[in-house]
Chain A
Amino acid sequence: MTVTVALVLEQTLNGLQYGVMLFLMAAGLTLVFGIMNFVNLAHGSLYMVGAYLATAFAAWSGSFVLGAALALPATLLVGIVVEVVALRTLYERDHLDQVLATFGLILFFNELIAIIWGRAAIYTSLPPFLGGHIRVLPGVPYPAYRAGIILVGVAVAVLLWVLVTRTRLGMRIRAGASNRTMVSALGVNIRLLYTLVFGLGAALAGLAGAMAGPIYSVQPGMGEAILIQVFVVIVIGGIGSIRGAMVGAIVVGMADTLGRAFLKPMLATVISPPAADKAGPALASMLIYLLMAAVLFFRPEGLFPARGRS
């Protein structure tokens, strides 16, 4: 297989887009984790809920954009309900409790979705206005929808950054993360704040789900498929920082994509092709974990930790 410059460029673009997709999923998680020190395994479930709701609303309204737009507040609502009913008491607890409790929520949500929509995957399709291709590179028709994902991801990154650093709400969020007691003594309703942040995280997860629906399989358990990778992203990037999530996502997206594409041919230049055939795919699946281990070895808190944290 010949590796041309055009192919390398195309794969780089693919890696970028995959990274942006990961960022969309990671943004909400790192926000909740960083601001509230809360490990939310059920983030994947909210992503799944977003995908299902967006599909349902799109089918009902006939418009993909309307479906996604309705899914966001709906997922936000689901997130808030979950937070108020089940998760409030967990903020004070250690990470293990949070991991286990939210893992329990994963089981619950998977079954709930299976009961409502059945276990089989449901049908999703690209919105017609994004169904075409754009000529990014000569001879390479790039799916317009994927380009759309990149745009949405970048827009979300910018909006989040503006929200957290330039608005009063963002200021309160950051202050609350720094010193909860002091902020509440100053009159800010910390409980409400945390609920809002969790809701925001849920909405982001829902957005990721809505965007993923047309290209991925929408079925119970779809959240777990991405969950590990998303955690790897925020761990590499540094927990709590949007910048870290973006960097981590791009790094993981690139490493994974380029690894899958080029690891085998690269290995084949040093070891025999049959051995490369076996080692290539195995190594490619381990790649992001090796990457994470390497990053943590040199920087035990990730690349851009939000603040010094034990």
Chain B
Amino acid sequence: MRTITRVALVGLLAALIAAPAAAQTVKIGFITTLSGPQGIIGEHMKNSVELALDHLGRKVGGLDVEMIYGDDQVKPDVGKQLADEMLKKHKVHFVSGVIWSNVMLAVAPTVTSAGTFMIGTNAGPHELAGKMCHELFFTTSWQNDQTPEAMGKYMQDQNITDVYAMAPNYAAGKDMISGFKRYFKNKVVAEVYTQLGQQDYQAEISQIRAANPKAVFVFYPGGMGIQFLKQYAQAGLRGQIPLYSVYTVDEISLPAVKEAALGQWETRYWSPDLKNDANQKYVAEYRKKYGKMPVFYGAQSYDGIMLIDSAVRAVKGDLTNKKGMIAAMRKADYKSVRGPYKYNVNHFPIQNFYLLKAVQAPDGDFAMQIQRAVFENHKDAYSAECSMKW
């Protein structure tokens, strides 16, 4: 009798302790690059996160929130150290962010193997979409190959042939061109890999002119893109040979190149002029608060916070209910700036990809404008390698 009473008392005590605690604080770690030349990207991401929190009334899922930002300095080992710090010292409930694939490959497994959610808001390496998919890893961006796949499809559909392809000589560059060729089956005249960080493309431009292709497809992120575009235009090739690209012309680089990018084609899953309520609010408020146009890195980060909010809301603030949050996230039941989308088995979005063109508005401003959709509800190419089923 005494044993049963004792057990009952312990059980009652346990139930009281385990009962939903008083208003907890959600802790979210956000790893991005804040210093150095690439710090501009991190700045956009952090701004968007802050804007999302403003829109949520500084509460995530109804709970108070504490954001811990980390600067990875574009180094995987620093990124991992930040993740360790966020997990062990700050005891965050979510780790989010990460721009670079190599940092993501160091951070994501660290976070998920510690039983914490990793909500990626940019890097989409194929390993995490395939063999290394994990139930605690979600992304609000894309799988790296999807964007060039869209361009490949568009150019294939347009019956363009004799394409000259160029990218910097590193993993992402090679991925972009292989993603492009997955859907572009016509003739690729040349595949040229240039040095990472190269400034002067005059030699390559001379080669292009000599080869006389029908179109040029490039991937030149950051400063490389600005340099290439300016020099391409200065060589007189802009009007002559149409230029198609991915991750080269965006709202960060456009103000630096302006007319040198006019008429250029890109593909992307999002653009500031995408018409839906959430996006129009995001773009308008971002411009008002920060004085510049938001870029896709920021849009993804904004969505990341909204995704987390939807999950916490779904489990009514019970952050220990990870299964519940996973189920909620899988529904993608929040107002994304790209419009409604679903998640693939590997927790990568199934989404539309659009053709964008750099145009000049009547007031003189340069912007990317959606022309049409290239892919509707496009899945990434690696989900078959993911063993998750739900």
Residues of chain A having any CB pair with chain B under 8 Å: 1-2, 4, 6-7, 10-11, 14-15, 17-18, 21, 110-111, 114, 118-126, 131, 133, 140-141, 143, 145-146, 214-222, 225-226, 257-258, 260-261, 277, 281-282, 284-285
Contacts and interface: CB of A to CB of B under 8 A. Distances in A.
A277 B191 contact: yes
B206 A215 contact: no
Given A7-B210, A146-B202, A281-B169, 7 more contacts: A6-B210, A14-B202, A118-B40, A131-B234, A133-B236, A218-B256, A225-B223
B182 interface: no
Contacts, number: 120
A110 B39 CA distance: 11
Nearest to A144: B234
Contact of A215 (B210, B231, B255, B258): B231
B204 interface: yes
B203 A14 contact: yes
Contact of A217 (B227, B235, B258, B259): B227
B256 A261 contact: no
A54 B190 CA distance: 38
A216 B39 contact: no
B36 interface: yes
Q: Which residue, of B37, B195, B231, B253, has the highest number of chain A Cβ atoms within 10 A? A: B37
B203 A114 contact: no
A108 B239 CA distance: 41
Nearest to A2: B210
Given A214-B230, A284-B195, A125 B258 contact: yes
Contact of B37 (A17, A221, A277): A221
| B: contact size bracket | 35 or more
Contacts of B210: 1-2, 4, 6-7, 10
B3 to A, nearest CB: 68
Contacts of B206: 7, 10-11, 14, 140, 261
B255 A15 contact: no
Nearest to A7: B210
Given A1-B211, A121-B226, A11 B195 contact: no
Nearest to A139: B209
B169 A17 contact: no
B69 to A, nearest CB: 16
B191 to A, nearest CB: 7
B253 A260 contact: no
A18 B234 contact: no
A200 B257 CA distance: 31
B260 to A, nearest CB: 8
B377 interface: no
Contacts of A261: 203-204, 206-207
B255 A123 contact: yes
B200 interface: yes
A120 B203 contact: no
Contacts of B196: 285
B48 to A, nearest CB: 15
B257 A123 contact: yes
A7 B189 CA distance: 17
Given A118-B40, A260-B204, A281 B199 contact: no
Contacts of B191: 277
A7 B206 CA distance: 7
Given A4-B210, A277-B191, A18 B258 contact: no
Contacts of B211: 1
25 contacts: A1-B190, A14-B206, A17-B202, A18-B203, A114-B39, A119-B40, A122-B255, A123-B256, A131-B234, A133-B236, A141-B235, A143-B235, A214-B230, A216-B199, A218-B256, A219-B223, A220-B37, A225-B197, A226-B199, A257-B203, A260-B194, A260-B203, A260-B204, A261-B204, A285-B169
B254 to A, nearest CB: 9
Contacts of B231: 215
A262 B323 CA distance: 57
Contacts of A284: 195
A248 to B, nearest CB: 17
